[in-house]
Structures are given as structure tokens and as C-alpha cells.
Structure 1
Amino acid sequence: MSENRGVVYKGPGEVEVVDLDMPEFVLRDGPGVNPANVGRKVNHGVILKVVSTNICGSDQHMVRGRTTAPAGLVLGHEITGEVVEKGPDVEFLDVGDLVSVPFNIACGRCRNCKERATGICLNVNPDRPGSAYGYVDMGGWVGGQTRYVLVPYADFNALKFPDRDRAMAKILDLTMLSDIFPTGFHGCVSAGVGVGSTVYIAGAGPVGLAAAASAQLLGAAAVIVGDLNPERLAQARAFGCETVDVSKGDPGEQIAEILGVPEVDSAVDAVGFEARGHGDGSAQEAPATVLNSVMELTRAGGAIGIPGLYVTGDPGGVDEAAKVGSLSIRIGLGWAKSHAFTTGQCPVMKYHRGLMMAILHDKVSIAEAVNAKPIPLEDAPQGYRDFDRGAAAKYVLDPHGMVAAATG
């Protein structure tokens, strides 16, 4: 068996754990690598021994064949690891440091990075602004559902945990810092969630549950989570959320039963482009459903955060428009109600350290909220299958058994 192994997308519905080359301080050619990035020197990078790496709903979009991801792509953008080697240009990290890695890859040098918009770095992806590990059209940086991974611009990107032992004791919480906790938090912040506010979270998957926990952390008076999966709705109720089963009819009527009025101050779309209809149409895919629904449910003058993924290429779209990301959105309704909308990748680094401190000082139990389940790296294909069936869990891959040792 090779020293390095990882999870590879083989085609719609299929992933496999395979032997991989060990990372080097250069970006090699491979599936999804933009030709302009081939041979790119990464003297500013570190090689991590991956401590934990998570299966994300965004990965599932690719595995379902709902993006233009090429076969052979190494998956995974949620990475926590230990520095085992560093490039000659790395100054502030050392071998042995334990770090969290934002899923956004950012150079720290361009205009957007300097303005804290690290989700749309201008220098790391020749295709478009913004980059991520192991993701379609994101420059071809190798994913982190592996035993070892390369992290570029490491002094800028990696967040060092201040105490290794304390971090390992909370590793299931801290592994959520790479994506879903900041992403859910960003959805709430951009929706204006604050003390005393009411908020509707569309979607009770891991990002939705992370958003719900974030809304509680921000002081919301009422956090209502909508979904059609009973297990996931039960998970939301387990940490104090109200819930709405969208398969049972108009969410507004159900919200009115909770709040006395059929509207909220803020809404978060944690579903994205594979949304399904509400009520009798809940079995049918209707990609604009959530966006249109949250505009109806959010009060005039309110705000909507949209961390749910929307893509520019969807081979499995319900119609020709949806296949290029063109949806029938009631923008006139949003305009008439003076809604504010925030879309796009979460700039993880904007929230990274603060959320780490909230975890370390027991202000939030994010692993409990999302029902984190550690599994061996070799069990990743089963984890993908279970997650795709709607399991109310966040699967955490444990490539070296370090999570099991710390939590068992």
C-alpha cells in the first residue's frame, strides 16, 4: 500500500480510495488541473499529514454527476492536519504544528485577499476568481481526503492551533473550521442575524445545522430550520431549534404557528441548486424553490444569506436553463421587499480565528450540532453512500486513526 492514499471521483455515483503520489512543492498535471497551473512552484507551501478531513455536501454534488468534474479528481476541501514538511519560503509555521486549512485557497497578495475577500482570490485559479482543494473548475489543487496534502501560501492560509493537546481534545469540533462552521456563520452574518432576531434556515444538512448553531451563537431569539428529512429535522431539534417540514405544506403557515407571524427577520439558503419543491411537489427537483421561498418568508427590509451552492454548469439540470445555472428566480419580489442578498464562497479566514476561540472556550459545540461521525479513510465510499441517502450526520474521515485515538 502506498504511503499516500485518497478519495477519487470515478464517475457519477462512484468514489474509490486509491494509491496516490506523495505531495511535492509543485503543482503537477492531473484531472482538473488548469494547464496554466501545471508546474507552478509552491515553495510557500507545507505538506500536511491529514488529521481529519470531512465529506461535504459540495463533494456530493460532484459525485452525483451534477457538475462538470472530471473522473480521477481527488476530492476533499475540509482539511485539518499536522505540518510534516515545509517549503523554503515558509517563515511562520514549523514541523509539528497542528493547523486548520480554509477550503478557500488564497494568495494573500491580491486586491481581494487584502480586502478580506479570500473566497475570490485573483491569483490561484486561472479559470475564475476563487479556488478550493479538490473541486471542479477551482484550479486543480489536489484535494485533501487523503493521508497527505499540499497547502499553498501556508503562512497566510493555515490557522495554527495554540495548544496541540487542547486542540486534539476538541478535534471533532475544530475540524468543522475548514468549511461548514464558518460557512454557516457567514450565511447568518450576511443575513443580519443578531440578538433577538428571528431566522429561517432552509436545509438541515451539515451546513444548515452549522448555520443554526451559528444563529444561536449570534443571539437569535428563534431559529427555525426547514427540511423534508425527518432525521435531519430531529437533529435540529436536538440542540434547541424549531423545525418546519416543508413536505407538509407552506413554510409560512408553519412559521406563523411558531412566531405568530408568517415571516422572519433573516433567512439562510443552505440547500443550493439541488433543491426540491414544497408540499405536494417535495419529491420533484425545483432548483429555484428555496430562493423564492426565502424571499416570501423574509420581512421587507430583511436580508438573505446564500451559502448554498449554485453552479454555472449542471449536466443533470431539470431543463436547459438550469444546466447553465439560469433559474426562474422572483427577483421582482426581492426588489419590492428591499431584500439584501449575499452569495458566493464564504471567506473562511474572516471568521477562522474567532470561531476557533469560541470552540476552545466552550461557547459552541458544533460537532454535536452537526452530529459528527468519524470513520476510517478506507470507509469513505460507504460514507458517501450514507450521506447521499440523507443520513443526519457529518462524516469525518480519519486517515491516520488520530481522531479515534483522541476521542475514543
Structure 2
Amino acid sequence: MPSNRAVSYQGPGKVTVENIDYPEFELKDGPGVNPANVGRKVPHGAIVKTVATNICGSDQHMVRGRTTAPHGLILGHEITGEVVEVGPGVEFVSVGDLVSVPFNIACGRCRNCKEGKTGICENVNPDRPGSAYGYVDMGGWVGGQAQYVLVPYADWNLLKFPDRDQAMEKILDLTMLTDIFPTGFHGCVTAGVRPGSTVYIAGAGPVGLAAAVSAFLLGAAAVIVGDLNKERLEQARSFGCETVDVSRGEPQDQIEQILGEPEVDCAVDAVGFEARGHGADSGQEQPAAVLNSLMQVTRAGGALGIPGLYVTGDPGAHDEASKQGSLSLRLGLGWAKSLSFTTGQTPVMRYNRWLMQAILHDRVQIAKAVNAVPIPLERAPKGYEDFDQGVASKFVLDPNGMLGTAA
């Protein structure tokens, strides 16, 4: 049986790479595993040898100690790999298939899955709808920043690439299909981006940059990205975005300088609950700052797409309300402007096949836009450290040395 090395959360600011058990078709007890899931049989699953697995900003929230994630949790929900074994209940996925794994774990059988709401599957997390690999309070499915990972409901969840050689040539783009590309796209779709739209995206991290790429793909006339990090803003400008440096103040004035008016048609929150204030307050954490700002800059009757993560428990928050996920929102402003809001996990399967086609047919270069940087699995701790410092890169882990010339 092959060895299995994986990235493990060891407390605030610390991750290690260690040996873990090779996957079996049964969910075992371990850090973060929901007791009701222990012993759960997975005859419908596949074991995937990881080709690429990415460090995500959502992982970083846990590693900073901003969630209730337990020590020893195996991280990683952005997984692309090769099927090496299938359970007896798998019919349409075969050994040797090169596949993308949506970060949502979904059964394909419940009411929500049948309605396309795979981010809130009712059958995979005993505590609440919705599940993901290697994430706190998501049922305890083992993470994929590892050499091998178990994927349940393989026939339903896995997206097979049609041509292996072509896929390996574009693997750094295709690895973004597991999460950030569909997440950015979902943010834009739910914000109502269409041909000719003006769009403001808060946050120039990988999801914000993916949202910007998505806005262009959807036909936006102007895409404006706001952030505090000058290197990330430069990365946004590298593929045609206008930018707003929110350390200079609220974004309205800078938006007006770009568009001739202080409002946009559509807005996307790609920051989430660790948001900081603007202008003189840019050094201070203000978890509602981005949402309130987006309500100000979005025209009446517009919409906000909110793929940025918000949590129900934040032990690192600076006040008691925020520790419970309770934020000081200007809901009256949103109500007065008749704004629409869409939150929650992105239903990746709603978009990943279409975005795969866009990549394979050279309609988009998402890896270049987010500055994808492959690194060996053993360098994951340094990758987390650099990402936390705000580097303008999307780190792609290479657990089995399969990225080849892509690296």
C-alpha cells in the first residue's frame, strides 16, 4: 500500500507535513470527523492520486486560528488527480481517469443536489447542510492536500477531463476548477454581471482575481478591483482590470474617477469576515466593512455576490458579537436600495464543466491571472507563510511530482 503524506493543521500559524493512513472506502475516526460519520461505508467512492492541490484563502482562515478547527485536521479542498481505485458501487468512473474534484461534497440524491444546490447537500454532514474536504465543521471528510484522498459519490462528484495529454498541458488552469474559478464566476453570476456591466470586486486575492477574470468572460465593460495590497492590485492590472487602493479611503471617489460616477452595476465580496477598514481604518479589522462598502457603491436595484467566507464561530474576533458571526450591517441601506444578496458555498458543479471548456478551448488563462506557482508538498508550510504575508500568488502543491513541465 502506498505511503500518504499530507498537510496537517497544528494550531494557529502552524502546519506540518506528516504521514497519514492511505484512504479506505470507509470514513475513519480522526481530528474533526463528525462522530456520526465514523464508520460510514463509501462503496460509491474513488481513491484519487493527487496531481495538484491548492492552498486556499479559506484554509488560511483556519491556519490563522480564526475558526474552531481542531489540531491535526488534514487540510485541503482544491483537488485535481488521477483515479487509482474505485469502490464496488462506482459505475461510470474508471481507474486512470484524470479528474477535477469539486470542493463541495454532494450525494446527488437529496432534494438540494437534485435542484443543483450542491453546496448544501443534506446527506454528507450530520450537523448541517453542506460539506467539504479538510474543513472545520464540514463533516470531517479527510482533506486533499495529500498524496491520496477518498472522494465519495464519485460518479456524481468527479468531472473527467476528456483528453489526458491536453489536460496535463493545461493542468495549472484546470486545477482552479475545484474552487476559485467557479467561486469567482458564481460571485459574478449572482451579482448579475452581463455584457456591458460595470463591476466592482472587493479583494484582489485569488478568488477576487478569479472573479475579475469571470467578469470579463461574462462580457463586463469595466472591471474594478479594490484591495489594500499593492502587489495584488498590480496583478489585477496585469490582465486589464482598473484598481482601487482602499487604503486611500472609501472606494466611491476612486470609482467615480474611473467611471465618471460613484456607483457600479454589480459588486462582488471576495474578502469575507477578516475584512479591514478603509482609509485611516485600513489597519483595523472591521468584518462588516466590505459588505457595507459594497452596498454604498452598488446602484439601486443591483445585486451583491458574496462568495467571501463568513463563519458562525470566530474565536479570534475582536468583539463578542463577531465571535458568533454577528456583524454590524447597514441592512437599512441595502433595503432602501432594493439590493439583492447571494451568500454561501458555491455550487461548483453548476459551472465547472463550462469553465473547463473555456480553458480547453483557450478562452481564458486563469492560472496566469492568479499567478499560479507550483511547489512541492513538503514546502506547504512555507507556502502558507508566504500566502499569509500577502504575496500575489496562488500556490499549487505537487504531492506526487506529477506537474512536470508545468512547474
- Shorter-chain-normalised TM-score: which range? over 0.9
1:393 corresponds to which residue?
393
Aligned residues of 2:255 and 2:261 also touching (Cα < 8 A): yes
Offset, 1:250 = 2.1
1:336 is aligned with what amino acid?
Answer: A
1:407 corresponds to which residue?
406
User: What are the equivalent positions in structure 2 for 1:3-402 lying under 5 Å apart?
Assistant: 3-402=3-402
Query: Secondary structure of 1:311's match?
Result: coil
Structure 2 gaps of 5+ residues are: none
Aligned residues of 1:2 and 1:19 also touching (Cα < 8 A): no
Offset, 1:318 = 1.4
Query: How high is the TM-score relative to the length of structure 1?
Result: 0.99
Q: Distance in 1 between matches of 2:127 and 2:13?
A: 26
1:126 is aligned with what amino acid?
Answer: P
Query: Secondary structure of 1:84's match?
Result: strand
Q: Distance in 1 between matches of 2:177 and 2:343?
A: 19
Question: CA-to-partner distance for each residue in 1:201-247, whole Å, 9 max, x for gaps?
Answer: 00000000000000000000000000000000000000000000000
Structure 1 gaps of 5+ residues are: none
Aligned residues of 2:273 and 2:310 also touching (Cα < 8 A): yes
Query: Secondary structure of 1:291's match?
Result: helix
Query: Secondary structure of 1:321's match?
Result: helix
Q: Distance in 1 between matches of 2:199 and 2:82?
A: 37
Aligned residues of 1:104 and 1:119 also touching (Cα < 8 A): yes
Q: Distance in 2 between matches of 1:31 and 1:294?
A: 37
| Identity percentage of aligned residues | 78
Q: Distance in 1 between matches of 2:210 and 2:116?
A: 22
Aligned residues of 2:173 and 2:359 also touching (Cα < 8 A): yes
Aligned residues of 2:250 and 2:293 also touching (Cα < 8 A): no
Query: Secondary structure of 1:267's match?
Result: strand
Stretches (4+) displaced over 3 A: none
Aligned residues of 2:33 and 2:140 also touching (Cα < 8 A): yes
1:119 is aligned with what amino acid?
Answer: G
Aligned residues of 1:301 and 1:338 also touching (Cα < 8 A): yes
Aligned residues of 2:76 and 2:134 also touching (Cα < 8 A): yes
2:271 is aligned with what amino acid?
Answer: V
Q: Distance in 2 between matches of 1:252 and 1:158?
A: 42
Offset, 1:406 = 3.7
Offset, 1:271 = 0.1
1:82 is aligned with what amino acid?
Answer: E
2:30 is aligned with what amino acid?
Answer: G
Two-structure CA RMSD over aligned residues (Å): 0.8
Q: Distance in 2 between matches of 1:297 and 1:289?
A: 12
Aligned residues of 2:106 and 2:118 also touching (Cα < 8 A): yes
Q: Distance in 1 between matches of 2:94 and 2:139?
A: 27
Offset, 1:3 = 1.1
Aligned residues of 1:23 and 1:149 also touching (Cα < 8 A): yes
2:308 is aligned with what amino acid?
Answer: G
Q: Distance in 1 between matches of 2:116 and 2:96?
A: 28
Aligned residues of 1:79 and 1:144 also touching (Cα < 8 A): yes
The count of residues paired between Structure 1 and Structure 2 equals: 407
Offset, 1:2 = 7.1
Query: Secondary structure of 1:293's match?
Result: helix
Offset, 1:402 = 1.0
1:398 is aligned with what amino acid?
Answer: D
Aligned residues of 1:68 and 1:315 also touching (Cα < 8 A): yes
Aligned residues of 1:2 and 1:20 also touching (Cα < 8 A): no
Query: Secondary structure of 1:124's match?
Result: coil
Query: How high is the TM-score relative to the length of structure 2?
Result: 0.99
Q: Distance in 2 between matches of 1:402 and 1:252?
A: 46
Query: Secondary structure of 1:135's match?
Result: coil
2:4 is aligned with what amino acid?
Answer: N
Aligned residues of 2:372 and 2:393 also touching (Cα < 8 A): yes
Query: Secondary structure of 2:85's match?
Result: strand
Query: Secondary structure of 1:223's match?
Result: strand
Question: CA-to-partner distance for each residue in 1:121-145, whole Å, 9 max, x for gaps?
Answer: 0000001100000000000000000
2:34 is aligned with what amino acid?
Answer: N
